[in-house]
Structure 1
């Protein structure tokens, strides 16, 4: 018994040590980003490094808040990310419901297309998307960014929501129809309210993709008034000097929406991801 208890204690200790080391490895860059955002630019790489400087201040944040161009980066990111999330959820819910509940010609082919789009590396589509947006006169527009992002967020939304609707009994739809509700009404009045965990998980994932995306935002926009936060951070890298403290401050501000979403909707996110991956 003592040998078994020792092995169990060693196992638990090893797990905790691994978790602590992993947490430090993941958390130290975040801590460095946070403390650097309060330091003067000249003191960020001072040796020996110090967490708190005597002349720490909110100067980097004030510089961002007082610069209309930097504020525009955040406005663009919120506008694009929220629009992509809303449109992806609406279309994904209806498509997922159709794939889950109905049989129609071409269903298998459409399923293959949806999965195939999800499997294609986005970088391989960069040049085709650039040419397409220029041809459609959507280059350097919100519409171009939104439609591009939806190409990558919709397949995931459809796959996850189809799996989630598959876990819900069809008797719910039938009972709603017996009460006189249409198919469309059964979806929005009955299934959607009880599918909140799945919908929230898809919404958070979609918002994260649209908020953090860099490559297409850089390629499909030209002017600073159309740039998003990831591109705005890069623009702080000058030819001869870097505004490190402002870069760190923008990174902190850019991380807040995703962190807040995950904190408040964590239980929905985990529950939705688990339920959507199981098919009854």
Structure 2
């Protein structure tokens, strides 16, 4: 049975969409695949020509070397401690600040809004030297607290902006109903608004975790000893003066990518829903 012109156009559009998606998937996925297969190759065969996916002598030796090295394990421990702490503190403070901006009128509210938005517009590299001096003065240099507080300067404004927009989409009648039942403002926030704001909170949490997990510049500047280095700095330390451990660098990159990939796989629905809902009303 011959297709009508409308069916033909629909088929062409569908084929074009799938072809575009396949091309985008290859563009995004092939570097990740090559990173993984390179982590399995012997270091001497990383740049062998012609390149092959499976090289003779491929093994998990690079991963075994990483897991047997306490110093490399410490890089991951540091990254998890810092990223999880930043995410938790940013969400707690961001939720309460966003609730205040969304539900209350107070002196200086507009000025504070401008300050929060302005912080987002400041390039982080311009604050590098002031932060270094501040952390040394406060004796927070080369500490978890120094990294956590520094990262929160960049994650908290985003969290406040996004969660304020999300809370603005929720009817005020929910707060009023909770207060009629004898609940305080904080009770209404944590018992009523937070449970129904999970998509927005999860999206902010994922973004915050990614920022803290992947950050390189401040992690390099505000830490001195290897026992305080994070994963991005640990990867750099595999670059020796005369030789590079390419397979271990690739293996650490794969292991460093896993937490973010897992977050997106399991919380993708909440992440997309939170990002779109938070931008509907400001």
TM-score (normalizing by structure 1): 0.97
* Number of matched pairs: 280
Deviations 1:220-248 (A, max 9, x none): 11111110000000000001100000000
7, 16, 19: which one pairs with 2:18?
Answer: 16
Q: Deviations over 1:134-160 (max 9, x none)?
A: 121211111110000000000000001
Q: Which residue of 1 aligns with 2:123?
A: 121
Once the two structures are TM-superposed, the CA of residue 5 in structure 1 deviates from its matched residue by 4.3
Partner of residue 198, structure 2? 196
Q: Distance in 2 between matches of 1:82 and 1:13?
A: 42
Task: Choose the corresponding residue for 1:249, options 234, 242, 251.
Answer: 251
Q: CA deviation at 1:131?
A: 1.5
Q: Residue 66 of structure 2 corresponds to which residue in structure 1?
A: 64
Counterparts of 2:156 and 2:183 in 1: how far apart (Å)? Answer: 28
The aligned residue for residue 240 of structure 1 is 242
Distance in 2, matches of 1:261 and 1:20, equals 23
After the TM superposition, which residues 89-238 of structure 1 pair with which residues of structure 2 at under 5 Å, given as runs? 89-238=91-240
Measure how far apart 1:17 and its partner are. 2.4
Gaps of 5+ in 2: none
| Deviation string, structure 1 residues 39-73 (Cα, Å, up to 9, x no partner) | 11111111111111231111000100010100000
Runs of 4+ residues over 6 Å off in structure 1: none
Return 5+ residue gaps in structure 1 as ranges. none
1:265 partner SS = helix
Matched position secondary structure for 2:40: coil
Distance in 2 separating the partners of 1:211 and 1:76: 10
Q: How does 1:37-52 map to 2 (within 5 A)?
A: 37-52=39-54
Aligned: 1:279 with 2:281:
yes
Taking the aligned partners of 1:236 and 1:21, their CA distance within structure 2 comes to 33
